[in-house]
Structure 1
Amino acid sequence: MAMADQVRANKRRRLIKQMQHNHSRKKIQNNRLSTITFGAFLLLLFWLPIPLGSNRPWAWAIMEVASFAIFAMTILSYSLSYIRQSLGLYWPIVIGLGVFVLFQLIQITPLPAPMIKLLSSNIYYLKSQYINVSADAWMSLSLDQVQSQIATLKGLSYYLLMLSCLVLVNNFNRLKLLLISIIVIGTWQAFYGSLMALSGSEKSFVLGLNNSSAANGSFVYKNHFANYIMMSLSVGMGYLVATLNKDRLRSGRDHIANALRMLISGKAALRIALAIMVIALVISRSRMGNTAFFVALSIAGVMALWLMRDKSRSLLFLLLSIFVVDTIILGAYFGIDKVKTRIENTSIANEARVDVNEYSVELVQLFPETGTGGGSYYSIFETVKGQDVKAFFDHAHNDYLQFAIEYGIPASIWLLIVVLITLVHAIRAMKHRNSRILQGVGFASTMAILGMLMHMSVDFNLQAPANAMLFHMIIALAWISHSGLKSKNYVEDLS
């Protein structure tokens, strides 16, 4: 009997040992898959701005397939309980943007005619009277079903990649890699854009597009390029803030030693990268792109000086150097005076986009409840524009206005509130987090969101997939800086 008990006990021990081995092996495999997934995630971010800002059907199709695949790989890399726990840290943004994506899906879903009439009487009237839809048939809220389906797929891909970012960036090393990747991408775009603008070539080196003296990188529209560089610069500034020496420099020897440490560390390369991006931003001749950058930098800098713990004079010197060295010296050499002239010559009378926006407001008044459907501005604006508007406009030159037209006032306000809450959390990260890198990420997110909120008022940057995706990454970084990465045992090395 004792012999049988001993045999059963040995079998049980072997079974437990085998289960532990299998669990350990599965964990290693999942870690490898997670690493591969994170690499694919960074590779996608690098790719997105290259094919004309991914603002072509074939390019955003690649983005969507890659985003869905990365999200699927993320789910396979971790257990469902871990994913729930990770996303639970960021539940306000997960729910906030999730509700908006759900509304996008509702816009393209056929609904009973009485429900459509209840939600938007003008949509019901147009579809039943002019679009050959039976008054008692099921119909969708969108006036352009095809374009709304395209917009919904884009929105879903942004959302899923943001969720992947929130799960994958689960340690400080990955956070550092993400920040460096965004800086490298922005620097490459800035270098290529500046090279093209200064080359004097009539055609771009890639795809043979028309080239001019204004930098636009691999984007078609210079303001999309300027907006992308503004966000990348914000991340670079935040990373530089995170590397600042918090020790008080009491003597000239301390200043010399600190300068030498900067030269042999990565800080010098980072400052060069920031200078290249500032040059490209100036050469883009984008009025609001440059204005948004410097105003956002000023506001975020004042907040950092006021809120950040254990700050030194290095932060003040850094902000002053950006304005003095980058704007006066580099800007004067590479043409900031031309940007200044464009701003001075700007008036409401000679801005065609103002006339377009006046007609666009009529669409908001006609469809305030649920909008005309995502992406429908492309076709619906033609029905209200006046004879004085000769050009074709596929976007309103104001993201706030376009969102209000396509998604209605309630959904647009909801989305704005979500972004403003994110901004508040980024600001709070600067004040409450003890980690230097998380404070720096809070600074970067604050600056980028402020810049985007300003630039959106005169352009349609969120209609460019590369810009929209990068902005979703900025939003993810803001929440990570506030609510994520709470390990107290990590020794930061940002050199």
Structure 2
Amino acid sequence: MILRLERCCFVSLLGLLIWLPIPLGSNRVWAWTIGEIWIALTAFALGFVFLVLRKREYFQRLKTFYWLLIPFALFQFWVFCQIVPLPTYVLAGISPVAASAYERVGAAWGYISLDPAATYIALIKGVAYLFFIVCAALLIHTKKRLKMVMLIIVISGTLQALYASFNVLWGIESSWIFHLPETDVATGSFVYKNHLANYLLLCLSMGIGLIVIDLSTSAARPVSWQAWINQTLQLLVSKKMLVRLSLIIMVIALVMTRSRMGNSALFISTFVVGIIALVFYKHRPPRLTWLLASLFVVDIILLGSFFGVEKVQERLAQTHLTSDTRHLVVEWSLPMIKDFLFTGSGLGSFYMIFPGYTQHAIGFYDHAHNEYVQFTAEVGLPATLLLGFSLLWAMMLTISVIRHRQSRTCKGAALGSLIAMVAMLLHISVDFNLQAPANTVTFLTILVVIGASHTIITPIQNRKVAHV
């Protein structure tokens, strides 16, 4: 009964990954509230399993994720500190700019955050993310589950890509459920095209990882033409071909988003990680190089030429500083970072604080279109570096898995996750993709996949332990 409840928690985790992108990327209060409740119920059920079984291995699993759990928990603690009321004379020693803002309105007490309500909402969301990480770390503990999580992410991305592509190709004027206006730019069930592009990047990366898992490490042997035809027919109806078709569909939708950095990130991340794989991949599959090459030639160049990559190129060529004001947001946010360098202005407060730093009218910006700048402005440099430590550690783990582990599943998962990380780090330099809960939860899942690929015990390791 208890083990069945544990399996139900894993199914709930998979269902959440598919659900979150559907209601506008869960980037609305009601939508992310549903997600928070979903996570809370799953965590409660898993906690019950944890208390009943009291297995030591549960503690061991969580301990192996110290590089992710500890920095993330400390980050949430700091966000909590941002909404702790303090006397203004105490606050003046911690954040002089925040203290002066509260003193100007005659308040005797104040907060590090200049928008405590928004910071409180961000804290609740962050705690939900923390519980999600704990649940995922406890539930993804076998190679079968690792592949299942990756497959579910690919399925979700394929569904989004199909929906987005059909809306554009059929000329749908408004979305089917929420009746939002649709144009010739793919957005899927998201509101913002770059959120869809970023989500597809993450899903594409997991798809690449799945294909790498299925690549044979043995060299191809010459066969007769009858055997070659038989192998080709088997390949056409295999799971690998279905995943490959999913990648093609997602690339088509990615090009249709007309996202400049989204498409560029796919090029760059695949190229960079491809080089890393060629250098560090132990017992590299002979077809790995051909797989990476095909992503450029077939998916990006050939398919893109039919589905609008030239329009993306036009957008890249026609981008001028005078017509795109996002660089001004970053430039004008630098004094904001200087004023709140160590404490931040409060997580979620950017939209309220930034208008005080604008120099002329450029329209309303509720985000900085640069997550590095926005996080530093809202939570301060130390807290931002704390999260950066987790990402850096995760990248080191992926290279370690690719280089040292013998499991094809773990190595493929690590390679796909590394592509996702590089793509995300590139894309958030010009957009606010982590503000969409669907993207954030999917990215956190990929970080957990990295940890699982590093710690999951394989049959070979079990035999070694038994021998000792």
1:162 aligns with 2:116: no
TM-fit CA distance, 1:75 = 1.5
Partner of 1:108: 83
1:364 aligns with 2:337: yes
**2:243 & 2:67 partners in 1: Cα distance?**
33
CA distances 1:75-120 after superposition (whole Å, capped 9, x unpaired): 1122454432210122121112111111111112223544422221
Aligned CA RMSD, in angstroms, stands at 1.7
Partner of 1:21: none
Q: Residue 88 of structure 2 contacts residue 102 of structure 2 at CA under 8 Å; is this kept in 1?
A: no
**2:147 & 2:233 partners in 1: Cα distance?**
23
Question: Partner of 1:404: helix, strand, or coil?
Answer: helix
Partner of 2:172: 201
Q: Which runs of 5 or more structure 1 residues have no equivalent in the other structure?
A: 1-28
**1:180 & 1:233 partners in 2: Cα distance?**
11
Partner of 1:427: 399
- The residue correspondences of 1:397-412 to structure 2 (distance < 5 A) are 397-412=369-384
**1:365 & 1:201 partners in 2: Cα distance?**
46
Partner of 1:171: 142
Between 434-443 and 102-111, the greater mean CA deviation after superposition: 102-111
**2:301 & 2:334 partners in 1: Cα distance?**
40
Q: Residue 249 of structure 1 contacts residue 255 of structure 1 at CA under 8 Å; is this kept in 2?
A: no
1:279 aligns with 2:265: no
- Compared CA separation, residues 151 and 367, structure 1 to 2 (3 A): same
TM-fit CA distance, 1:224 = 0.4
Tell me the amino acid that sits aligned with residue 209 of structure 2.
Answer: G
Q: Residue 108 of structure 1 contacts residue 142 of structure 1 at CA under 8 Å; is this kept in 2?
A: yes
- Compared CA separation, residues 267 and 412, structure 1 to 2 (3 A): same
Q: Residue 88 of structure 2 contacts residue 103 of structure 2 at CA under 8 Å; is this kept in 1?
A: no
**2:390 & 2:296 partners in 1: Cα distance?**
31
CA distances 1:300-328 after superposition (whole Å, capped 9, x unpaired): 11111222222232111111111111112
Partner of 1:381: 354
- Among residues 321, 329, 339, which one is paired with 1:348 in the alignment? 321
Q: Residue 90 of structure 1 contacts residue 483 of structure 1 at CA under 8 Å; is this kept in 2?
A: no
1:314 aligns with 2:287: yes
- Among residues 191, 194, 205, which one is paired with 2:162 in the alignment? 191
CA distances 1:373-396 after superposition (whole Å, capped 9, x unpaired): 01001211122222232x111111
TM-fit CA distance, 1:288 = 0.2
Aligned length: 458
CA distances 1:113-154 after superposition (whole Å, capped 9, x unpaired): 444222212111211223x311xx3x3211001100111111
TM-fit CA distance, 1:258 = 4.5
CA distances 1:155-210 after superposition (whole Å, capped 9, x unpaired): 11112101110101111221121111001000000110111111112112221110
Q: Which runs of 5 or more structure 2 residues have no equivalent in the other structure?
A: 464-468
- Among residues 388, 392, 410, which one is paired with 1:438 in the alignment? 410
**2:207 & 2:319 partners in 1: Cα distance?**
30
Between 188-197 and 75-84, the greater mean CA deviation after superposition: 75-84
Tell me the amino acid that sits aligned with residue 161 of structure 2.
Answer: A
1:43 aligns with 2:15: yes
1:149 aligns with 2:116: no
TM-score, with normalisation over the residues of structure 2? 0.94
1:329 aligns with 2:312: no
Q: Larger radius of gyration, structure 1 or 2?
A: 1
Tell me the amino acid that sits aligned with residue 157 of structure 1.
Answer: A
Q: Residue 89 of structure 1 contacts residue 484 of structure 1 at CA under 8 Å; is this kept in 2?
A: no
Partner of 1:266: 239
**1:475 & 1:189 partners in 2: Cα distance?**
22
- The residue correspondences of 1:16-27 to structure 2 (distance < 5 A) are none
Between 301-310 and 240-249, the greater mean CA deviation after superposition: 301-310
Question: Partner of 1:350: helix, strand, or coil?
Answer: coil
Partner of 1:14: none
1:210 aligns with 2:181: yes
Partner of 1:338: 311
Question: Partner of 2:155: helix, strand, or coil?
Answer: helix
**1:186 & 1:485 partners in 2: Cα distance?**
29
Between 84-93 and 282-291, the greater mean CA deviation after superposition: 84-93
- Among residues 210, 222, 232, which one is paired with 1:239 in the alignment? 210
Question: Partner of 1:123: helix, strand, or coil?
Answer: helix
Tell me the amino acid that sits aligned with residue 183 of structure 1.
Answer: V
Q: Residue 143 of structure 2 contacts residue 456 of structure 2 at CA under 8 Å; is this kept in 1?
A: no
TM-score, with normalisation over the residues of structure 1? 0.89
Q: Residue 185 of structure 2 contacts residue 258 of structure 2 at CA under 8 Å; is this kept in 1?
A: yes
Q: Residue 242 of structure 1 contacts residue 436 of structure 1 at CA under 8 Å; is this kept in 2?
A: yes
Between 299-308 and 440-449, the greater mean CA deviation after superposition: 299-308
CA distances 1:423-458 after superposition (whole Å, capped 9, x unpaired): 111121111111101001100110000000000110
